[in-house]
């Protein structure tokens, strides 16, 4: 179907931060398959985990215990201070699970028409419920009727949230800690803390969508660790499998027990192959001190970009947390995607921003190449 508009390039091989196309040309990947291949392409430990598991067992079914799923669930719960996990195959599915849990929570509290507050310019996925949760009329166009009921509030505006405190049908607030798809929008440092306080006062579930920010992208395993908070529900996907499809909806306390046998499911979700791979991802992050590296290299990248672009009259601002980086320009820049490709660089353009999500393992030499290429692109505008 025509729902994608692929660039005129196709890759056949990947290694670390580099991809090779059908003609043998190498490209620096500063997008990581949209925040997925955090440990780089074909990381040897991940390849080994996949190969070893593939020789033993791919798939059984959730009708039986799955050892690696249980181990991964325990590990994730321990890392995120959560009580239980549901595994699906994507970010949208992780968020669907979160939305269903919020509804069960509402009905348990005699709320017949539960409402979830989400943010304008948010992105939570493309299934009907997650598209309805997404705060983008542009993405929703043509798909009415949407799933009831989500109310979209201004992001990073605590008063906008407070205005809904009287509404007894609200059951949850669902946010990205940093809005990724709308161009790396970073809220005030205490915004999430204030949101959590309001949720606690009103007995609303606090759902954090860390599909893009999670698994080390910001320099913490989960972005909400910067706020020293624990949400009631946390969703993950993308980098958790480093390219193997997995989604996870983690829940704590009152949110953790609402799914009962038969209330939700997935055929593929949490199978031995993906769970063994995700376990290997978490092991590498720990073993190779990836989080410290992300903080250091992220700071280096953003400070060098700031330094080299400080006199540019085309840059509005540079927003960065770890290796989530956006360079907002004062003009349309969609054509930079093609120009970058010609320069053997893979980036994303979101609105008027260049968005960079390089592999977490990017080293200083590669970072310097990236900086030079970006500065060249901006100067050539």
Ligand X SMILES: Cc1ncc(COP(=O)(O)O)c(C=O)c1O
Tell me the β-bridge partners of 88: 247
Q: How far are the Cα atoms of 3, 64, 220, 226, 301 from residue 318, in angstroms, in the given order? A: 30, 49, 20, 20, 11
Of the pair 90, 271, the CB lying nearest ligand X is at 90
Of the pair 267, 331, the CB lying nearest ligand X is at 267
Per the residue annotation, which of 29, 86, 87, 123 is the catalytic one?
123
96 makes contact with ligand X (CB under 6 A) = no
Which of 32, 118, 182, 212 binds ligand X (CB under 6 A)? It is 212
Per the residue annotation, which of 206, 209, 232, 259 is the catalytic one?
209
Which of 41, 43, 103, 124 binds ligand X (CB under 6 A)? It is 124
Is there a catalytic annotation at residue 123? yes
Of the pair 346, 378, the CB lying nearest ligand X is at 346
Of the pair 68, 124, the CB lying nearest ligand X is at 124
Is there a catalytic annotation at residue 29? no
DSSP assignments along 330-372, one per residue: SS--TTHHHHHHHTTEE-EEETTEEEE---TT--HHHHHHHHH
125 makes contact with ligand X (CB under 6 A) = yes
248 makes contact with ligand X (CB under 6 A) = no
The span of 186-194, 207-215, 265-273, 362-370 binding ligand X (CB under 6 A) equals 207-215
Please give the structure tokens belonging to residue 321: 């947390």
Which of 176, 232, 304, 328 binds ligand X (CB under 6 A)? It is 176
Of the pair 222, 377, the CB lying nearest ligand X is at 222
Closest approach, Cβ 233 to ligand X, in A, equals: 13
d(CA 106, CA 235): 19
Please give the structure tokens belonging to residue 33: 């398959």
Which of 28, 49, 119, 211 binds ligand X (CB under 6 A)? It is 211
The answer to whether the CB of 281 falls within 8 A of the CB of 42 is: no
304 makes contact with ligand X (CB under 6 A) = no
End-to-end CA distance of the chain: 33
Give the 3-state DSSP-derived string for 193-241, with helices as H, strands as E and coil as C: HHHHHHHHHHCCEEEEECCCCCCCCCCCCCHHHHHCCCCCEEEECHHHC
237 makes contact with ligand X (CB under 6 A) = yes
232 makes contact with ligand X (CB under 6 A) = no
Closest approach, Cβ 73 to ligand X, in A, equals: 19
Contacts of 71 (CB under 8 A, 6+ apart): 275, 279
The span of 118-126, 152-160, 277-285, 293-301 binding ligand X (CB under 6 A) equals 118-126
d(CA 122, CA 91): 13
Closest approach, Cβ 261 to ligand X, in A, equals: 26
Closest CA to 370 of 346, 339, 348, 352: 346
Contacts of 78 (CB under 8 A, 6+ apart): none
d(CA 123, CA 136): 8
Interface of this chain with ligand X, residues 34 to 63, rule: CB under 6 A: 34
Beta-carbon count within 10 A of 58 CB = 11
Of the pair 129, 374, the CB lying nearest ligand X is at 129
Please give the structure tokens belonging to residue 27: 């490209």
92 makes contact with ligand X (CB under 6 A) = yes
Is there a catalytic annotation at residue 222? no
Local structure of residue 263 (DSSP, 8 states): S
Closest approach, Cβ 84 to ligand X, in A, equals: 20
Closest CA to 197 of 161, 233, 235: 161
Closest approach, Cβ 187 to ligand X, in A, equals: 14
Which residue is at the shortest CB distance from ligand X? 91
Q: Contact positions toward ligand X, by CB under 6 A?
A: 34, 90-92, 95, 123-125, 176, 180-181, 209, 211-212, 237
Catalytic machinery residues: 123, 209, 238
């Amino acid at each position: 179907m025509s729902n994608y508009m692929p660039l005129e390039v196709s890759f056949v091989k990947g290694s670390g931060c580099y991809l090779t196309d059908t003609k043998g040309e190498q490209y620096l990947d500063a997008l990581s398959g949209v925040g997925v291949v955090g440990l780089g392409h074909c990381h040897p430990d991940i390849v080994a985990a996949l190969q070893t598991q593939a020789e033993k067992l791919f798939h059984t079914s959730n009708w039986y215990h799955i050892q690696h799923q249980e181990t991964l669930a325990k590990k994730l719960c321990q890392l995120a201070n959560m009580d239980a996990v549901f595994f699906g195959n994507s970010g949208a599915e992780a968020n669907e699970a979160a939305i269903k849990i919020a509804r069960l929570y509402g009905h348990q509290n005699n709320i017949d028409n539960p409402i979830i507050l989400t943010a304008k310019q948010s992105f939570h996925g493309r299934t009907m419920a997650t598209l309805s949760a997404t705060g983008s009329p542009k993405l929703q166009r043509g798909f009415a009727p949407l799933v009831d009921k989500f109310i979209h509030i201004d992001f990073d505006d605590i008063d906008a949230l407070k205005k809904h405190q009287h509404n007894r049908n609200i059951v949850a607030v669902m946010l990205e800690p940093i809005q990724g798809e709308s161009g790396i929008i970073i809220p005030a440092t205490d915004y999430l803390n204030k949101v959590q306080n309001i949720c606690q006062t009103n007995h609303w579930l606090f759902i954090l969508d860390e599909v893009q920010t999670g698994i080390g992208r910001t320099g913490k395993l989960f972005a909400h660790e910067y706020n020293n908070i624990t949400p009631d529900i946390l969703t993950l996907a993308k980098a958790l499998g480093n390219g193997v499809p997995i989604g996870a909806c983690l829940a704590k306390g009152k949110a953790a027990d609402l799914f009962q046998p038969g209330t939700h499911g997935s055929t593929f979700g949490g199978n031995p192959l993906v769970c063994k791979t995700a376990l290997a991802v978490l092991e590498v992050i720990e073993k190779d001190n990836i989080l410290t590296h992300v903080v250091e290299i992220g700071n280096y990248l953003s400070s060098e970009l700031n330094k080299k672009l400080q006199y540019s009259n085309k840059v509005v601002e540079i927003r960065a947390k770890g290796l989530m980086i956006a360079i907002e320009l004062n003009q349309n820049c969609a054509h930079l995607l093609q120009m970058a490709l010609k320069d053997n660089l893979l980036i994303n353009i979101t609105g008027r921003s260049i968005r960079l999500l390089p592999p977490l393992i990017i080293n200083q030499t590669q970072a310097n190449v990236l900086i030079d290429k970006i500065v060249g692109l901006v100067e050539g505008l």
